[in-house]
Structure 1
Amino acid sequence: MAMYRCILFAPGVDRKKITKAFSLDTDAVVLDLEDAVAISEKDQARSVVQEVINTEKLPPSFVRVNGVRTSHILKDLQAVVNPKVLGIMLAKAESGEEVRMADWLIGLLEEERGIPRGALELIPFIESTRGIEKASEIAAACPRVKRLALGGNDYTADTWTTYSEDGTELFFARSKLIVASSSAGIDPPIDTVCPFIKNIDSLRQDALRARKMGFQGKLVIHPAQIEPVINVFSPTAEEIATAQRIVAAFEEAEANGTGVIQLDGKMVEYPIVNRARQILSTVK
């Protein structure tokens, strides 16, 4: 499975920032047609992103489109459904029905353009209380959905609070996305951007909280955030070595008919081994 430790947003209307984003060492880039673009600039942003997709060699890239309840969704998808992008990030996803609407529109455009139906991934961007409540149905809405993403700034505004450095206001929303993703059998979700651009220690602590809860990675909005986030979501040398020892010891025991062992004073059974294998699967 593709795992994204760090995904960088680039404003769809700004060609210079897009070019810069493409040159940076991040796992993927999101070309943004939604919040990073003023309403008066939506048409210009579509033109810029469409030109970039058609003329440049892309790194792993997604496009964030406006929500299905907006007047922008059809033009957005018409501009960006292209086999050169990995998929579409759907802003303001609030129900399984909305996700299936986007899936249907993308499918029609794929067929029209000779793209295998279902080729593009769809990442629902959940950023409201309604979306959090519907997280389970969103996660299971259609086969295109491989992972969810959390929008913390909109969510905290929706709950009459603010994004703080201790992150307590996001605990429930993060938990809902973790459980919804696991229940639907999709990959772990991607955590929200951290607004504290110049406070790298706060960013690191925020990322550590998300990783501990089970997120696969984090969205970022500034180049300075990339390296700290990638470091947090990459297994350490110690974690890799421990996972290798767990897998090796358990497989040897299993071959001899044993399903539970002790290693370094700890009980090791199938769930522990499965987690060790998950860690090893993320090593790049």
Structure 2
Amino acid sequence: MGLLRCLLFVPGTDRKKINKAFALNADAVIMDLEDAVAISEKHTARRVVSETINSSALPVTYVRVNAVSSPYILADLQAVVQQRLAGIMLAKAETAEEVRRADWLMGLLEEERNIPRGTLELVPFIESARGIENAGEVAAACPRVKRLAFGGNDYTADTWTTYSEDGSELFYARAKLIAASRMAGIEPPLDTVCPFIKNIDALRKDAHRARKLGFQGKMVIHPAQIEPVKEIFSPTPEEVAAAEKIVAAFDEAEAKGTGVIQLDGKMVEYPIANRARQILAAARELK
């Protein structure tokens, strides 16, 4: 699938916006059946999204469905479990049991439609204090879960605070998702959308914080947010050059039987060299 640095949300009811989103340069598109769709428009959104999956040349595409605890989950999955989709994002995931229920329903629908069971990815969308505290169990709930996603707007509402430009209220939740993902052996999580659509400077700072903590990418809600986010979650030329220098020096030392060296005044051992290799692998994917 490649790197998921930037994923663009689009309302499932709006064909024009969906078609525009597919033509933009995000790494993936998320068609939304949940918060971006009014309750009275749920049926319309399912129809539009289902028809889009069947009729369009899709980029990497996910659909966010409503929570397992909602009355909409079955109809959502029946409408969108199709082979051309990359996966399902499960809104308001709070427990491993909820994830396994969605996994079970997806498996039944895959079998019914002659899709190999387990084909579609399942991305739990963690949006509450309960979800954050259960993130380790959610991340390890089933083999479909390759990564978690963070919903910061719902999380701040749940914890009686507000999404601020300095992001201090999100630090614990973000750190918890990083640790939970590593403990489960899955990929780094996807960071929350930034609600400050017209404030690109705030977006950039928000994205830098998430990348520094270890997120692999960030979801966005406006085309103007795509390129800044992609840039921030891509290795810089300076990072690539430094990584190449580290790997070359460490490989040379290792060949001589040394597992730790000093390079440019800094200690380099296996963890540092391995991180440098990760940076170079990411850079190769983007060429």
TM over 0.5: same fold? yes
Which whole-Å CA distance do the structure 2 matches of 1:91 and 1:254 have between them?
A: 47
Aligned partner of 2:193 in structure 1 is: 193
Query: Tell me, what secondary structure is at the counterpart of 1:62?
Result: strand
Give the TM-score normalised by structure 2: 0.98
Tell me the SS of whatever aligns to 1:114. coil
Q: Which residue of 1 aligns with 2:209?
A: 209
Residue in structure 2 matched with residue 47 of structure 1 by the alignment: 47
Question: Residue 9 of structure 2 aligns to a residue in which SS?
Answer: strand
- Matched residue, 2:86: 86
* Equivalence for 2:36: 36
* Structure 1, 243-252 or 91-100: larger mean CA deviation: 243-252
User: In structure 1, the residue corresponding to 2:164 is in which secondary structure?
Assistant: coil
Q: 1:210 and 1:150 mapped to 2: Cα distance? A: 11
How far residue 204 of structure 1 moved from its aligned partner, in angstroms, is 0.3
Moved over 2 A (4+): none
Distance in 1, matches of 2:263 and 2:45, equals 56
Structure 1 match to 2:157: 157
The letter of the residue matching 1:255 is A
Q: Name the counterpart of 1:236.
A: 236
| Root mean square deviation of aligned Cα | 0.8
In structure 2, distance between residues paired with 1:111 and 1:277:
39
CA distance in 2, matches of 1:89, 1:26: 17
Aligned equivalents of 2:79, 2:51: Cα separation in 1 = 9
Supply the distance in 2 between the matched residues of 1:153 and 1:256 (Cα, whole angstroms): 52
The alpha carbon displacement at 1:241 in A equals: 0.9
Distance in 1, Cα, partners of 2:10 & 2:281: 28
- Paired residue for 1:125? 125
SS in 2 for 1:123: strand
Query: What does residue 174 of structure 2 align with?
Result: 174
Structure 2 counterpart of 1:95, one-letter code: T
Secondary structure at the counterpart of residue 111 of structure 1: helix
SS class of match (1:4): coil
SS of equivalent residue, structure 2 residue 229: helix
* SS state at 2:99 partner: helix
Partner of 2:69: 69
What residue in structure 1 maps to residue 108 of structure 2? 108
Give unpaired runs (5+ residues) of structure 2.
Answer: none
Separation in 1, partners of 2:200, 2:23: 21
User: Match for residue 8 of structure 1?
Assistant: 8
Q: Secondary structure at the match of 2:118?
A: coil
**Any unmatched runs of 5+ in structure 1?**
none
Matched, 1:141 2:141: yes
The code of the aligned residue for 1:184 comes to: A
Q: CA deviation at 1:3?
A: 2.5
Code of the aligned partner of 2:23: S
| Higher deviation after alignment, 249-258 or 69-78 | 249-258
> How far 1:244 sits from its partner (Å)?
1.2
- Distance across 1 between alignment mates of 2:115 and 2:276: 37
Q: Which residue of 2 aligns with 1:24?
A: 24
CA distance in 1, matches of 2:159, 2:282: 34
Match of 1:278 in 2: 278
1:254 shift after superposition = 1.1
Q: Which deviates further from its counterpart, 76-85 or 248-257?
A: 248-257
Provide the residue aligned with 1:60 in structure 2: 60
Cα distance in 1 for partners of 2:18, 2:249 equals: 47
Partner deviation per Cα, 1:261-283 (whole Å, 9 max, x = no partner) = 11111111010011111111212
The farther-off stretch of 200-209 and 271-280 is 271-280
Give, in angstroms, the shift of residue 13 of structure 1: 0.4
CA distance in 2, matches of 1:259, 1:142: 37
Task: Note the C-alpha offset of 1:2.
Answer: 3.6
SS of the aligned residue for 1:282 comes to helix
**Separation in structure 2 between the aligned mates of residue 240 and residue 149 of structure 1, nearest angstrom:** 27
Normalization by structure 1: what TM-score? 0.99
What letter corresponds to residue 40 of structure 1 in structure 2?
S
1:206-265 Cα distance to aligned partner (Å, 9 max, x none): 000000000001000000000110111111001011111111211121122111111111
Q: Aligned pairs, how many?
A: 284
Overall identity of the aligned pairs, in %: 74
**Structure 2 Cα separation of the partners of residues 138 and 274 of structure 1:** 27
| Whole-angstrom CA distance in 2 between matches of 1:112 and 1:249 | 54
Partners of 2:196 and 2:142 lie apart in 1 by 34
The whole-number CA distance in structure 2 between the counterparts of 1:176 and 1:244 is 31
